[in-house]
Amino acid sequence: MGIRVNPDIYSLVLSGLQTNAQQENQALQQISTGQKLNSISDDPAAAASVVTLRMESSANTQYLQNITTLTGSLQTAGSALSSVVEALTSAQTLGVEGATGTTNTQNRQAIAQEVQGIQQQILGLANTTYNGQYLFSGTATTTQPYVADASAASGVTYNGNPNTNSVEISEGQAMPINLPGSQLFSNSTTNVFQSLQDLYTALTNNGDVASATTEVQNALNYVSTQQTFYGNSVDRLNNAQTFLTQEQTQLTQTESSALDVDMAKAITDLSQGVTTQQALLAAGAKISQLNLFSYLPSS
């Protein structure tokens, strides 16, 4: 029976050494970096998955930053409206006091001055800012929404617009983040500033204080209903923040699973690579000592 000798046995050994060297280098790099993926060629599919995970994580980080800013803004606006409600409550109480038949003209004048002070307080609250932005001017956040105007029946002029801003708080989910002052402080039947102006005028001129006090009560009821927007919005942001934080944790864990190396396995792979390299080198050295007669049977 004939003997068949591979004429390219050296190439096989060299190819084995090259493949083994690549595997050793990969194991060494994994051990030194602690990561399974150190280049796209290590695992293209896994690398693409990590890129996607990081893009999702980056988007979540931006959403969480948006939520933090929005929460502060909405809480500030809600607090301002709570103060408006308290101020209107005080004005309504003063109106009831001024409407009693036992209140003399001097006392009414004093009450009128208190109401005027409440007007100024609410004007300041209507111009509340957060991070340099006016909260109640619609989308014209750099424009002061309300200014005192003696020529206006209500005593103020609104310089904002009737529009609302919205911000994306998660993938495909945007929410309105403000209500314009023109909606918050007035509608077709009531007006906060007009009611206060009417109460002040009635107290000053010994007019129909009771009717003016009812106007203030209606304004108070209206603003109280508008407060719910801010409370509900903060609750919605808190829920979104909880969800995004949990999702961010999951994304981090998934990325870690894709990247973090099994150190024990990497060390074993390196050890096996060293052993294989030594075996291949030994085989190569032995082959170099052979010739055709080495394959012939001894007589």
Using CA atoms, how far apart are residues 23 and 28, in angstroms rounded to an integer? 9
What does pLDDT average to in each consecutive run of 10 residues of the chain (299 residues)? 52 57 59 58 65 80 90 95 98 95 89 97 98 96 97 97 92 91 96 98 95 97 95 93 87 67 59 59 56 49
Give the model's pLDDT for residue 280: 53
Using CA atoms, how far apart are residues 20 and 272, in angstroms rounded to an integer? 9
What's the pTM value of the predicted model, to 2 decimals?
A: 0.71
Could you give all domains of the chain from N- to C-terminal order, each with its CATH number? Answer: 52-254 (1.20.1330.10)
Give the model's pLDDT for residue 230: 94
Give the model's pLDDT for residue 22: 59
